[in-house]
Chains A and B, each alone.
Chain A
Amino acid sequence: MKNRMITLCVNGRNYRLDVMVNRTLLQALRDDLKLVDVKYGCGSGECGGCTVLVDGKDCINSCLTLAVEMEGRNITTIGGMTHEGELHPIQQAFIDEGAIQCGYCTPGMVMKTASILAKNPRPSEDEIRRGLEGNICRCTGYENIVRAVQTASQVMYDSQIQPAGGSR
């Protein structure tokens, strides 16, 4: 299998990485860069646990994406949401609304939320529920996650906070 040298920008930091061309972004993040805040849940794009934000807007399943495809792109994981110890409004909303139980889906859910709100800052409940499809939570019944997205949307709108993940 061939290797290729790529540059990944993850959470605002540039990494030079020599990766096999069949290596997934999930493997590159978790195993090579030790950014273990991205989770493996199924390895086949069904659970959304490995969701990351790309260029501040789209979200992808990192288990279905080859690392080499992400050459030069801006990746944001949940670890990149916090600035100087201060939580992003999305993170705060997940805490306040009780949207976290076991926490395993949380990194993917938060990044999916960032993507939903980057594309549509004031989504309706129906748009939120449709947006969250693809990210599985087995603990909450989604109720409090939907509430958290609504709260985050409101807070970000009121305070004019820019969506997460840098440039759009």
Chain B
Amino acid sequence: MSEMTYIGKSVPKVDAREKVTGQVIYAAEINLPNMLYGKIVRCWEYSHARVTHLDLSEAAKVPGVVKVLGPGDVTQKRYNTGVLDLMVPEDMGKHLLGDIEDQRIFTDHVRHQGDAICGIIAESEEICELAARKVIAHYEALPVYLSAAESSQPGAFQFDERKPGNRTFQLPEQMFPNNAYGWGDVDVEMATADFVIEDTFYVPKVKQCQLEPHSYVAFFDLAGRLNCWTSTQMPKCVHNKLARLFELPISRVNLVSTTIGGGFGGRLGMVFEPETCAMAMAVPGHPVKVQSAREEDWVASESRHPGKYWLKMGFKNDGTPVAADAHFTSDAGAYFSHSSGVPFTTGSWLTGMYKYNAVRYKGDCYYTNQAPSGAFRGYGNPQTNFVLEQIVDQACLKLNIDPVEWRKRWHKQAGDDGWCIGVPYSSCSLDECLDRGAEAIGWKEKRAKYANQTGRMRRGIGVSVMNHTSGAMPMLLEHTTCTIKMNEDASAVITLACSDLGQGSHTVLKQIAAETLGMPMEEIHLHVNMDAAGFDIGSHASRTTYVGGGAVMKACEDVKRQLIERASTRLGIPVEELEIRDRHVVSKNKSQRPEGAEGNAADNLRNNVWGVGASMSIKEICSVGVYHFVNPMNGEANGVPGQIQGYASFFPSHNSPPFGACFAEVQIDIETGQVQVLELVMAHDIGRAINPKAVAGQLCGGSHQALGMALTEEIHYDAKGLCLTNSFTDYKMLGPVDMPKITTILVENPDPIAPYGLKSVGEAGPVNPVGATANAISNALGIMFTEAPITPEKILIAIRKQGIV
């Protein structure tokens, strides 16, 4: 590809200036005339209880309270906050998902601490608080289950009659015989193994911790339209879901996508939009603002799926991985939410990684009384990484093979079956990632140096690889619509529904548009508006640059086609002989516009200024398309009429998977059990980086979440199911001092299918630092840890057990 103007350039984020001056508007900053405030009243004392008595009369008497709403005062329709039901065909959904709508706006069956029991609408937030304290609720305690192991016991309380045994999901028999995903005969292959490594791991419940708390404004206007301002990651899906929940046509719901103060999956689907909109529906003509407190995020919004992960792998003495047999039993938490998504994809990342002769993955999910599990950046991949990559390292130890070399020999390559069996990988640069990463961190030297350590401080170095996806095709719907309107001055407005979580998707989409249209980014505006924009599934599955970018590119090509057709008509030159260059449609015979050649096409033609061939400026085509006149004297038109709009309704044909290699170096104080990560090297197969600085930023930021999962982060509950870690003090994330030196390496070998050869990066960061850190700890101590996070307590206990000190 020839030299490009915008692709591959680290242009500043398009919203950076607004953000750094404090001008940007998040949902909490929306203030409207006649606005009231809403409070979602939650049950804080129980994680599982029946509300036997709810008296709102005292709350209603508080001066300034406008309305109180109990479970019977709002729609009785059930819903699912996740969006998987909008992403699969109905017949497949019946098997894959089953009945998934199990949530109600206000409930009389509290299934987790923080479940919403009623709502208060008042003139101020302070009045809401006062009234909330006057709500009288009596409860009958129900048995509390904090893991799948507990809730799946015979005789356990049944959460939902449609989910016998409290099992929300298993791989459905109709699609996956024996409820398993994979290939080959695992039992036969396992029997041929020279040795087998097997263990059961635990992966923790970790939180997205986006900095912006969940805030909304909803307004049921007097024209009968429901308006909702929300920072959801998936505006179109939430638009659709709210319309269904409140039984309105989509055109009578105005969903306004506000700036997103972090998402990471935490805003994938609906969060507190149903409660907010229900309150607004109860007071037509008054906007209602709901600003949730940080504590509410911990107890009432979703997190990563925790669970028990069993993996058994058989190897030949030459290193061949003959079989992998896995079972992930995860905790859904109180509601179905993403029960079918994560336990499925967790297996995809496993099957997509190595060339096993046979593999069998089972994934299931059970209700518990914890906050619901849902989407979190990586979607099952960090869980698999912690387990698979540690087992592989144990095998390498036994085989006496360098872990980098083993991975290079056995990871899947281009042409091999991808994470979705039947869809081969279109490209793979993992070997280069491993080589360049190993060199950058000094893998061989350090591995040798740390082999036989003594003393208090022990160092270790570890590696981990990962695969992911660019969009969820073919398992889930992949579709983005884009319109590009050319203004009469040849500036452009892109209209679409893609959200920007902060990762910079709007920046790269504009880069793609500017490159494809051959015009300056400054003359392009990107307009996100749910009324005006067509469909987009939303920001998930690392898809926005890949699929959104594909849609933008196609819509730009549509604009270019129209420009060329107009010029062809006007100039009398066949379409195939024209091309766009330097903001002109020019004849291909003429390679360059001469210096100083101005004036309109007609003059140029008449005067033959440009010699052979001819040209028309984009500006002239766009202008005369709008300002179209016919000369009354001679009946001649000044150009071809019609404002130019490009359009694409884009369905990608692939998922061009990214790969990555991560190297971690740690130092462990064996007296305190403290782990310090000294260095991370992340080499990522990006295909082509549209904005290298933004790509590196995704890897660095993601690694923060990965290191937290590996070392410090976990949501804890007491025996009653009450959350013990509902603050940033109790839930420990790594701070600026704790973060290691990070080196990012972008391996750029353009993918043959992807727009501009790009691959995704959004979900790569939080995945393989998990496995690399665990492997580095294991390298330092000679102990494999099966439970994440690997805290100082766990390290000290293991060290004493092993007799290291």
A and B interact physically: yes
CB–CB A104/B29 < 8 A: no
Contact residues of A with B, CB < 8 Å?
34, 36-44, 46-47, 49, 77-79, 81-82, 87, 91, 94-96, 98, 100-107, 110, 126, 128-130, 132-133, 136-146
CB–CB B262/A102 < 8 A: yes
Q: Is B21 among interface residues, defined by CB-CB distance under 8 A?
A: yes
* Count of inter-chain pairs, beta carbons less than 8 A: 164
CB–CB A82/B264 < 8 A: no
**With known contacts A130-B737, A133-B736, A82–B502 Cβ distance under 8 A:** no
Across the A-B interface, the 6 shortest Cβ-Cβ residue pairs: A37-B22, A102-B502, A103-B19, A104-B261, A46-B728, A101-B502
CB–CB A133/B735 < 8 A: yes
**With known contacts A42-B294, A110-B20, A141–B694 Cβ distance under 8 A:** no
CB–CB A103/B213 < 8 A: no
Q: List residues of chain B with CB within 8 A of the CB of A110.
A: 20
CB–CB A43/B262 < 8 A: no
List the A residue with the shortest CB-CB distance to B17: A95
Q: Which of A91, A101, A106 contacts B697 (CB under 8 A)?
A: A101
Q: Please give the distance in Å from A84's CB to the nearest CB on chain B.
A: 12
Q: Please give the distance in Å from A14's CB to the nearest CB on chain B.
A: 20
Contact residues of B with A, CB < 8 Å?
10, 12-13, 15-24, 26, 28-29, 31, 208-213, 259-264, 291, 293-294, 501-504, 693-694, 696-697, 700-705, 727-729, 733, 735-737, 739, 742
Q: Which of B291, B693, B701, B727 contacts A46 (CB under 8 A)?
A: B727
- Tell me the complex Cα distance, A44–B22, Å: 21
List the A residue with the shortest CB-CB distance to B729: A46
Q: List residues of chain A with CB within 8 A of the CB of B736.
A: 128-130, 132-133, 142, 145-146
- Tell me the complex Cα distance, A86–B16, Å: 14
- Tell me the complex Cα distance, A140–B736, Å: 10
CB–CB A138/B12 < 8 A: no
List the B residue with the shortest CB-CB distance to A102: B502
Q: List residues of chain A with CB within 8 A of the CB of B209.
A: 136, 138
List, sorted by A's number, 12 A–B pairs whose CB atoms are closer than 8 Å.
Answer: A37-B21, A42-B727, A91-B20, A94-B20, A102-B259, A102-B260, A103-B502, A136-B209, A139-B503, A139-B701, A142-B739, A144-B700
- Tell me the complex Cα distance, A46–B705, Å: 18
- Tell me the complex Cα distance, A44–B10, Å: 37
Main secondary structure of the interface of A (DSSP, over half): loop
List the B residue with the shortest CB-CB distance to A38: B22
- Tell me the complex Cα distance, A105–B101, Å: 35
Q: Please give the distance in Å from A161's CB to the nearest CB on chain B.
A: 16
CB–CB A143/B739 < 8 A: yes
CB–CB B739/A141 < 8 A: yes
Q: List residues of chain B with CB within 8 A of the CB of A79.
A: 21-23
- Tell me the complex Cα distance, A46–B293, Å: 13
Q: Please give the distance in Å from A51's CB to the nearest CB on chain B.
A: 12
CB–CB B211/A137 < 8 A: yes
- Tell me the complex Cα distance, A140–B15, Å: 16
By CB atoms of chain A within 10 A, which of B16, B503, B700 has the most? Answer: B16
Main secondary structure of the interface of B (DSSP, over half): loop
By CB atoms of chain A within 10 A, which of B26, B502, B693 has the most? Answer: B502
CB–CB B739/A95 < 8 A: no
Q: Please give the distance in Å from A103's CB to the nearest CB on chain B.
A: 3
CB–CB A100/B737 < 8 A: no
**With known contacts A43-B294, A79-B21, A130-B737, A142–B728 Cβ distance under 8 A:** no
Q: List residues of chain A with CB within 8 A of the CB of B733.
A: 136, 138
List the B residue with the shortest CB-CB distance to A111: B22
List the A residue with the shortest CB-CB distance to B680: A141
Q: Which of B502, B693, B735 contacts A139 (CB under 8 A)?
A: B502
Extra contacts, 16 of them, besides A36-B22, A104-B210, A138-B210 (Cβ < 8 A), are: A39-B212, A41-B213, A46-B727, A79-B21, A87-B17, A102-B262, A102-B502, A103-B18, A103-B20, A104-B261, A129-B739, A130-B736, A132-B735, A138-B211, A138-B701, A140-B701
Q: List residues of chain A with CB within 8 A of the CB of B22.
A: 36-38, 77-79, 107
Q: Which of A44, A94, A139 contacts B262 (CB under 8 A)?
A: A139
- Tell me the complex Cα distance, A49–B24, Å: 14
List the A residue with the shortest CB-CB distance to B30: A36
Q: List residues of chain B with CB within 8 A of the CB of A78.
A: 20-22
Q: List residues of chain B with CB within 8 A of the CB of A130.
A: 736-737
CB–CB B704/A138 < 8 A: yes
Q: List residues of chain A with CB within 8 A of the CB of B20.
A: 78, 87, 91, 94-95, 100, 103, 106, 110
- Tell me the complex Cα distance, A138–B213, Å: 13
**With known contacts A79-B22, A103-B19, A138–B737 Cβ distance under 8 A:** no
- Tell me the complex Cα distance, A127–B386, Å: 33
- Tell me the complex Cα distance, A143–B264, Å: 18
Q: List residues of chain A with CB within 8 A of the CB of B21.
A: 37, 78-79, 81-82, 87, 91
Q: List residues of chain A with CB within 8 A of the CB of B291.
A: 40
Q: Which of A41, A77, A141, A146 contacts B704 (CB under 8 A)?
A: A141
Q: Please give the distance in Å from B756's CB to the nearest CB on chain A.
A: 20
Q: List residues of chain A with CB within 8 A of the CB of B294.
A: 41-44, 47
Q: List residues of chain A with CB within 8 A of the CB of B502.
A: 100-104, 139
CB–CB B739/A138 < 8 A: no
Q: Please give the distance in Å from A137's CB to the nearest CB on chain B.
A: 7
Q: List residues of chain A with CB within 8 A of the CB of B23.
A: 37, 79
CB–CB B12/A47 < 8 A: no
List the A residue with the shortest CB-CB distance to B694: A98
- Tell me the complex Cα distance, A10–B727, Å: 30
Q: List residues of chain A with CB within 8 A of the CB of B29.
A: 36
Q: List residues of chain A with CB within 8 A of the CB of B704.
A: 138, 140-142
Q: Please give the distance in Å from B16's CB to the nearest CB on chain A.
A: 4
Q: Which of B12, B705, B735 contacts A95 (CB under 8 A)?
A: B12
Q: List residues of chain B with CB within 8 A of the CB of A132.
A: 735-736
CB–CB B700/A102 < 8 A: no
Q: List residues of chain B with CB within 8 A of the CB of A143.
A: 700, 739, 742
- Tell me the complex Cα distance, A143–B693, Å: 12
Q: Which of A42, A101, A133 contacts B504 (CB under 8 A)?
A: A101
List the B residue with the shortest CB-CB distance to A109: B20
- Tell me the complex Cα distance, A100–B20, Å: 8
